[in-house]
Amino acid sequence: MSIRIVVADDHKLVREGLHSMLEKQQDMEVVAETDDGRTTVQQVQKQSPNVVIMDVSMRGLNGIEATRQIIARTPHVKILALSIHSDKQFVVGMLSAGASGYLLKDSGFGELTDAIRIVASNQTYLSPRIAGIVTEDFVNRLTRADTSVYSILTSREREVLQLIAEGKSTKQTASQLNVSVKTIESHRKKIMGKVEINSVAELTKYAIREGLTSL
Longest dimension (CA), the chain: 54
Using DSSP, state whether 7 is helix, strand or coil.
strand
Query: Which of 89, 172, 181 is CA-nearest to residue 102?
Result: 89
Residue 74: which residues within 8 A CB-CB, separation 6 or more? 44, 45, 48
CB atoms within 10 A of CB 54: 29
Task: Report all structural domains of the chain as residue ranges with CATH numbers, in order of start.
Answer: 3-141 (3.40.50.2300), 149-209 (1.10.10.10)
- Tens of pLDDT, residue by residue, the chain (215 residues): 899 999 999 999 999 999 999 999 999 999 999 999 999 999 999 999 999 999 998 888 999 999 999 999 999 999 999 999 888 888 888 998 999 999 999 999 999 999 999 999 999 999 888 887 776 666 566 445 567 788 889 999 999 999 999 999 999 999 999 999 999 999 999 999 999 898 888 999 899 888 888 76
How far apart CA 76 and CA 87 sit, in angstroms, is 27
Query: Whole-model pTM above 0.85?
Result: no
The three-point CA angle 127-104-61 to 5° equals 120
Write the DSSP symbol of residue 85.
-
Q: How far apart are CA 26 and CA 20, in angstroms?
A: 12
Report pLDDT for 144.
Answer: 53
**Type of residue found at 171:** K
